[in-house]
Structure 1
Amino acid sequence: MTTVQSPPAPPTAIRPRVVARTGLYAVLAANVAVVTVFFAQAGFASNSLIVIGRLLGLYGALVMAFQLLLVARLPWLDRRIGMDRLTSWHRWTGFALLWTLLGHLVFIAFGYAEGTDTGPVGEVVDLAETTEGILRALVAFALILVIGATSARYARRRLAYETWHFIHLYTYVAVVLAFTHQVAVGTTFTASSAATTYWYTVWGVALGSVALGRLVLPLWRNLRHRFRVSAVVPESDNVVSIHITGRDLDRLPAQAGQFFLWRFLTKDRWWQANPFSLSAAPDGTGLRLTAKTVGAGTAALRHLKVGTRVFAEGPYGAFTTLHRRKTESLLIAGGVGVTPIRALLEDLEGHAVVIYRVSAERDAVLYGELAELARAKGAELHLLTGPPVPDKLAPRELARLVPDIADRDVFLCGPPPMMNAVLRTLGDMGVPKQQIHFERFSLAG
């Protein structure tokens, strides 16, 4: 087994995730301040309800633009923060957007209805019929309501990813409608040339980021690398490895621990994109993913033909050596979650302990490769088998296997219940949060 390894960055006091997160907060805070200044310069209406409503509308427009930045899949942000965390932030800012726009609508309606006999609902209807841009804003708000409803945990669990994704494409329709509403009736937007330039810049950067990360980069990388299936290797009855080749793969900025969205361009599967981690560290000549059968889509992978064209979006994820804090590591894998762990072991330097948790030995996919790598790198490898109870990853057991666990980086990947239990255990054992690295498969947007 030969690999081309780039030496990982040594542990540093500078934390990339903190830098990226702080940068995002600073950008958002600075824009909130700028919006507030432009709003004050534009002058206030005599009605305080209208003043509050207009300010909430401006903040809503800013939050909407910020949301686009979170789902843009920009490599710099993704590698430092991670798609799962960006998705979580996107979700919460989405609810913030919903309440902000609702407040905008309510305050504007009651503000314009003050001193009239029409009432807030009648005033909204009258504005929609007589004022340019209001009807578009109401349609945008209705779309955001539908999108917000499908993002609720109850609905999300019951919708197929493709259905959920299709509904969320209407977000872009809502963005366009909201922007044209702002252009048509936004007094702050037209109050000065500086304000007009600012808002065009905000929306241009937000939409441009989405176009770059979601369209331009994937198209450019696939045209450049021309991915194809080079081999299909069954690992067990329900697990298969797909080897990918292409052009100039040494220039593909992929790292061990990351994942791609893979589309295999066959007649019946070209429209499906599935996230699979790299199960081997990129060596500049090929890529490998390893998938477990969980449905018709993954079951069809073992029938792929050599030469099948592949459209790959990525690499994505912050589950890499970039975030190391210590020179020694502990890698914990559960089930098929071993795939990024196996790739990370190949890439990590320094002493490593690997714990692989499965129900039975026959479920230990890639165990032979793990054992070979462990011998070559001087790592400790522990295979833990058996039912979930008793917990073989409880504090006492982990302390026995890894007495110096608090002095190691911990990389964790496995089924959600196992990951949640291990995260609680690591907290109980006093392992600092900045030394715990994990990522859940969540796609922003």
Structure 2
Amino acid sequence: MLTAYGMIWTFLILNLLIVELMFLNPKTPAHNTLTSAGRFLGLHLGFVLALQLLLIARLPFLDRRIGMDRLTTWHRWTGFTIFWLVVLHPTFVLLGYAELDDISFLAEIANLAKQMPVLLGMIAAGLVGVVAISSVRLARRALSYEAWHAVHLVVYAIVVLAVIHQVYEGSAYKSNEFTQLYWWGLWAFAIGALLTGRVVVPLVRNARHRLKVAAVISESPDVVSVHLTGRNLGELRARPGQFFLWRFLGHNAWWQVNPFSLSAAPDGRSLRLTAKGIGSTSAGLRQLPIGTRVFAEGPYGAFTSARRVREDAVLIAGGIGVTPIRALLEDETLTGDIVVLYRVRTPGEAVLLGELQNLARLRQARLHLLTGRTGEGNQPFSAGNLLGLVPDIAQRDVFVCGPAAMTNAVLRSLRQLGVPARQRHAETFRLAS
């Protein structure tokens, strides 16, 4: 039986074989070698664009088996592949036509831009460049999450422009009825998945469950918990460790959305999120009026007990990353011996600590609060210190959520300690748009 990864590779290889055959058997031959190279790059650009739509469609099959973090890594690399194909495809086409028309490269740009389908393709290429620049690490750090997400909404405009461009300019997939049926079937599947996952399902779910704010509780000067109620919440089938994308109607604009984990195990009657005031949305949550309508997408994420393969577990939290860890500790399906490691600079920063202590007593789990500034004399997540805290860590599933630097340090130590990859589970909120 094929695993999820086996099914993905099979899908990719079969589709790539069809794409290569389409390139080798075009309806009309290319004018010269340069335009042939441009056609090759354009055909693969269309294919990779369709794959990107599937990656951001939040398909349950992929989300539950692969996890949003890994999917987002794929999304990032696919995005930069698209960027370079967008640069190279028109470059070779323009060079080819410039040679054919015996004019300069720049003159050929002005010449082809007079054709509306080509102009739309150029606009789409420019928008791809904007999205790519906003995703470079330096730019990403300078932008708020809300601004970064808003920039990525131009993906929808790119899709429309790309489809129009292909209708008028594509030739490699017009060899025969089969190639046309395949190509537009692939794009229909990708666009349909995107609209279903990002528009239809969220609209239906929110109309059915009608979430609203029931209480807002201050956990610390910069951390707040929001309790939500609604109708038939058990039908959401949310699990401890998962997250939703939240919009608080009237509190922020419709295009502003934030990923927050559930900080308590869902009970079918209410949901709770706990957030630290970092961006404009999270910082203003404590001013939410009771009764505010909430639009939520999800649940998402594979950071759940369903991924574990061993009986015992280690739950590692850093800072506000404690939220999904606290929910997992409450999860009754997470059986066996449990060790919790909670990393903060000072005890005063340990939000939800009282709840963790109560749950640890109830579950007979061991809870270690690790404090102090990280330095040469304090490396709580070095391989040696982890082994000292949990001597049998290689025989446990390890769930970790916290700042990127901490998470990377933990994963590095786990590899040194020989913890198999299937036992390492991380949630880092590198969320695809």
TM-score (structure 1 length as normaliser):
0.90
Q: Distance in 2 between matches of 1:353 and 1:177?
A: 52
Please tell me whether the aligned partners of residues 149 and 256 of structure 2 are also in contact (alpha carbons under 8 angstroms): no
Correspondence for 2:404: 416
CA positional deviation for 1:191: 2.4
Kindly indicate whether residue 162 of structure 2 is the aligned counterpart of residue 178 of structure 1. yes
> What are the equivalent positions in structure 2 for 1:2-401 lying under 5 Å apart?
19-42=3-26, 44-45=29-30, 47-114=32-99, 116-129=101-114, 131=115, 133-266=117-250, 272-347=256-331, 348-389=334-375, 390-401=378-389
Q: Which has the higher contact order (CA 8 A, sep 6+)?
A: 1
Q: Distance in 2 between matches of 1:93 and 1:318?
A: 21
| Secondary structure in structure 1 of the residue aligned to 2:146 | helix
Please tell me whether the aligned partners of residues 183 and 189 of structure 1 are also in contact (alpha carbons under 8 angstroms): no
Please tell me whether the aligned partners of residues 246 and 257 of structure 2 are also in contact (alpha carbons under 8 angstroms): yes
Q: Distance in 2 between matches of 1:138 and 1:260?
A: 36
Structure 1, 244-253 or 77-86: larger mean CA deviation? 77-86
Deviations 1:69-125 (CA, angstroms, capped at 9, x unpaired): 111112221222222222221121111112223222222222233354213333343
Structure 1, 142-151 or 266-275: larger mean CA deviation? 266-275
Q: Distance in 2 between matches of 1:48 and 1:431?
A: 51
**Which AA in structure 1 matches 2:415?**
G
| Secondary structure in structure 1 of the residue aligned to 2:40 | helix
CA positional deviation for 1:267: 5.0
Please tell me whether the aligned partners of residues 398 and 425 of structure 2 are also in contact (alpha carbons under 8 angstroms): yes
Correspondence for 1:407: 395
Please tell me whether the aligned partners of residues 132 and 184 of structure 1 are also in contact (alpha carbons under 8 angstroms): no
> Measured at CA, do residues 138 and 285 of structure 1 come closer, stay the same or move farther in structure 2, by a change above 3 Å?
same
CA positional deviation for 1:277: 0.6
CA positional deviation for 1:330: 0.6
> Measured at CA, do residues 228 and 358 of structure 1 come closer, stay the same or move farther in structure 2, by a change above 3 Å?
same
Q: Say how many residue pairs are matched.
A: 428
CA positional deviation for 1:271: 5.5
CA positional deviation for 1:248: 0.7
**Which AA in structure 2 matches 1:242?**
V
Q: Distance in 1 between matches of 2:151 and 2:345?
A: 38
**Which AA in structure 2 matches 1:65?**
A
Please tell me whether the aligned partners of residues 242 and 304 of structure 2 are also in contact (alpha carbons under 8 angstroms): yes
Kindly indicate whether residue 425 of structure 2 is the aligned counterpart of residue 434 of structure 1. no
Deviations 1:108-151 (CA, angstroms, capped at 9, x unpaired): 2222333542133333432333x552222222222222222222
Listed as ranges, the gaps of 5+ residues in structure 2 are none
**Which AA in structure 1 matches 2:62?**
L
> Measured at CA, do residues 141 and 295 of structure 1 come closer, stay the same or move farther in structure 2, by a change above 3 Å?
closer
| Secondary structure in structure 1 of the residue aligned to 2:284 | helix
Q: Distance in 1 between matches of 2:427 and 2:196?
A: 24
> Measured at CA, do residues 308 and 123 of structure 1 come closer, stay the same or move farther in structure 2, by a change above 3 Å?
closer
| Secondary structure in structure 2 of the residue aligned to 1:157 | helix
**Which AA in structure 2 matches 1:355?**
L
> Measured at CA, do residues 396 and 42 of structure 1 come closer, stay the same or move farther in structure 2, by a change above 3 Å?
closer
CA positional deviation for 1:270: 6.0
CA positional deviation for 1:175: 2.1
Q: Could you list the structure 1 runs, at least 4 aligned residues long, displaced by more than 4 angstroms after superposition.
A: 267-271
Deviations 1:333-365 (CA, angstroms, capped at 9, x unpaired): 112211100111111111111111222222222
> Measured at CA, do residues 238 and 110 of structure 1 come closer, stay the same or move farther in structure 2, by a change above 3 Å?
closer
The RMSD of aligned alpha carbons is 2.1
Please tell me whether the aligned partners of residues 332 and 410 of structure 1 are also in contact (alpha carbons under 8 angstroms): yes
TM-score (structure 2 length as normaliser):
0.93
Please tell me whether the aligned partners of residues 318 and 343 of structure 2 are also in contact (alpha carbons under 8 angstroms): yes
Q: Distance in 2 between matches of 1:318 and 1:396?
A: 28
Q: Sequence identity of aligned pairs in percent?
A: 53
Listed as ranges, the gaps of 5+ residues in structure 1 are 1-13
Please tell me whether the aligned partners of residues 82 and 317 of structure 1 are also in contact (alpha carbons under 8 angstroms): yes
